[in-house]
Amino acid sequence: MKNILVKIIENIKLNDDYFLLWIHAPEISKSISSGQFFEIKIAGNNFPLLRKPISVFEVKNENVGFMIKKIGRGTENFSHLKKNDVLDIIGPLGNSFELPSQKEVLLISGGIGYAPLHNLKKELLSNNNNVTWIHGGRSTNDIFSSDFTFTDDGSSGQKGFVTIGMEEILLKKKFDLIYCCGPKIMMKKCSEIAKKFHTKMFVSLEEYMACGIGVCHGCAVAIKKNDSFTYKTVCKDGPIFNSNEVIWNE
Amino acid sequence: MNRLKTKLGKLELKNPITVASGTFGVENNNFIDFNSLGAIVSKTITKNEKIGNPPPRLYETSNGLLNSIGLQNPGLKGFIENVLPKYATYETPFIVSFSGSTIDEFSEILLELEKYDSISGYEVNVSCPNVENEGIAFGTDPKIVYKLTKQLASQTDKELIIKLTPNVTDIVSIAKAAEDAGANSLALINTLLGMSIDWKSGKSHIRRGIAGYSGPAIKPVAIQNVYRVSSNVKIPILAMGGVSNWKDALEFFYAGANVVAIGTYNFVNPKITIETIDNLNRHFLSRNQNLTEIIGKINGIN
């Protein structure tokens, strides 16, 4: 991991809620694995105080793309960034998705959970896997390119949750691996379904985060340990965990 | 000539900047050279491993941070086996922060830590509940602070720092109790207490409700505490509370601090300690002054 200043090369507005921030970062672009994230802030701007943990959406040679949803002051500020503005970033951080070859892989995402799976899909395909992607969101703004689409309000794709699509497809087809990222409640349901179908699933978790490097223990998640549990950090032990190890109700 | 030299009790430090317990770890060596720091303070350790509090543990407020980590740590044994060796290679003094739930437990931890030469001193975290005294924090009762400090002071020749909580009626009486009992220096302030609630749902942003409150927002409170304590004790002060740059550090020195720790701001800027040292150095060079000349030299108060 490094703490460096990088320039914005493009800020693409996807819709009113989402945007795609591209940075030029030759020092770190080669060392990124799918599933990892960066702790990001605008250089010289210390409000809000804490950096925002943002997953890598895509790596293209020396450029790194972050897909971001506006959810608070920090992400709102990022949405106004322009070409040549400077970001202060720490990363790449956290563990990464296990990258298989020649497997049937199912991707499931909800809302901004789409972001980390995008780069993963690219890597899975170049590693000779077959990939099927189910994506869902509240409404049309939350929808991005995938094989099956669900919205809560029915404004895009099928009306309902991604869990419907997940059950349907698992009944028809055998998958070797599932990768999942989205709201906690969605990941919890998906984890139950994956268990029912005896399919290994990895989830990318999120928690309120401060340091990003495993020092402050702020971003704790309950993970099974023997007959009990312990708290692990999303930033260092994660963000990727085997869904069977996560205690969803804690 | 080194203009930043300072002393913290028995420790001679090459510069006055260290880190606040719990905001810094071995991972920070990705960003800075540990040998450049004045000292390093560990995260608080306890006798047994603690898994900590349930999440959410953090919430950012206006220029401040609420935290409710619950002293998550690997325990004394885990610390000695896995953490301590990683700091042993640095020449910078390493200070171990520890806590206990009874005076005997503090005493037992100190005895064990005394076996390791790589430890230069101890920062005693007295903000935790005392199970022998209805769970009231050790640090809120001058008599208990006296008893605890006296016990620990008799067990070590290394730097013994008592870390004071600001969540008391009269911090000076606690500071004096620690001094009288043989503390070599005082660290202050530990986090204030705070809460934050989601106005839409009425739900606490922190799972355990009451949390520790840190960050730039608490700086004036910290300075005031340092000023009051330093005016009433003779032993040196390791000050912390909202320091985010070298100018903040200078305020603390004028208020009476001999050493300053940076905490929450390590999360904002992982190079903040080194930048602060460099800027302080430049400042004192340009003024042809030494740090020690300004400690406690606040003026303008009538």
Contact A220 B53 (CB under 8 A): yes
Q: Is residue B175 annotated as a catalytic residue, yes or no?
A: no
Q: Which of B31, B43, B267 lies at the smallest CB-CB distance from A50?
A: B267
Average of per-residue pLDDT across B3-14 = 97
pLDDT (0 to 100) of residue B128: 81
Q: Are A110 and A83 in contact (CB under 8 A)?
A: no
Q: If you average pLDDT over residues A79-93, what whole number do you get? A: 98
**B138 lies in some domain:** yes
pLDDT tens sequence across B245-296: 999 999 999 999 999 999 999 999 999 999 999 999 999 999 999 999 999 9
Q: Cβ of B56 and A231 within 8 Å?
A: no
- As a whole number of angstroms, the distance between CA A35 and CA A55 comes to 7
d(CA B147, CA B177): 9
The torsion region of residue A206 among left (phi > 0), alpha (psi -120 to 50) and beta comes to beta
pTM (2 decimals)?
0.96
Q: Which domain holds residue B62?
A: 6-293
Looking at residue B63, which CATH number applies to its domain? 3.20.20.70
- Residue B280 forms part of a structural domain: yes
How many C-beta atoms surround the C-beta of residue A173 within 10 A?
11
Which pLDDT does position A250 carry in this prediction?
Answer: 59
Name the band, by pLDDT with cuts 50, 70 and 90, for residue B130.
confident
Dist. CA A101–CA B53, nearest whole Å? 39
Assigned domain for B204 exists:
yes
- How many domains, chain B? 1
Interface test with B, best of A88, A215, A228, A232 (most B CBs within 10 A): A215
pLDDT digits over B231-240, tens only?
Answer: 999 999 999 9
The reply to whether B299 falls in a domain is no
Question: Which of B51, B67, B268 is the closest to A230 by Cβ?
Answer: B51
Closest chain A residue to B55 measured between Cα atoms?
A220
Mean pLDDT across A181-197: 97
Q: Chain B closest CA to A47's CA: distance in Å?
A: 7
CA atoms of A64 and A57, how far apart (whole Å): 8
- pLDDT at position B129 is 77
Which residue matches tokens 């959810």?
A: A71
A191: pLDDT strictly greater than 80 = yes
Looking at the domain assignment, is residue B244 inside a domain?
yes
pLDDT in tens, B172-216: 999 999 999 999 999 999 999 999 999 999 999 999 999 999 999
pLDDT number for residue B131: 77
Question: In which band, very low, low, confident or very high, does the pLDDT at A240 lie, cut at 50, 70 and 90?
Answer: very high
Among the partner-chain residues B27, B65, B216, the one whose CB lies closest to the CB of A210 is B65
The answer, yes or no, to whether residue B29 has pLDDT greater than 90, is: yes
Q: How far apart are CA A15 and CA A33, in angstroms?
A: 27
Residue A74 pLDDT greater than 80, yes or no: yes
For residue A179, the model assigns a pLDDT of 98
Task: Read off the pLDDT of each residue in B1-27 and give the average, rounded to a whole number.
Answer: 97
The answer to the question of residue B298 being in a domain is: no
| B300 found inside a domain | no
Q: Is there a domain that residue B28 lies in? A: yes
> Does residue A155 carry a pLDDT above 80?
yes
Q: Are A61 and A121 in contact (CB under 8 A)?
A: no
For a pLDDT cut of 90, what percent of chain B falls above it?
Answer: 96
- pLDDT tens per residue across span A168-184: 999 999 999 999 999 99
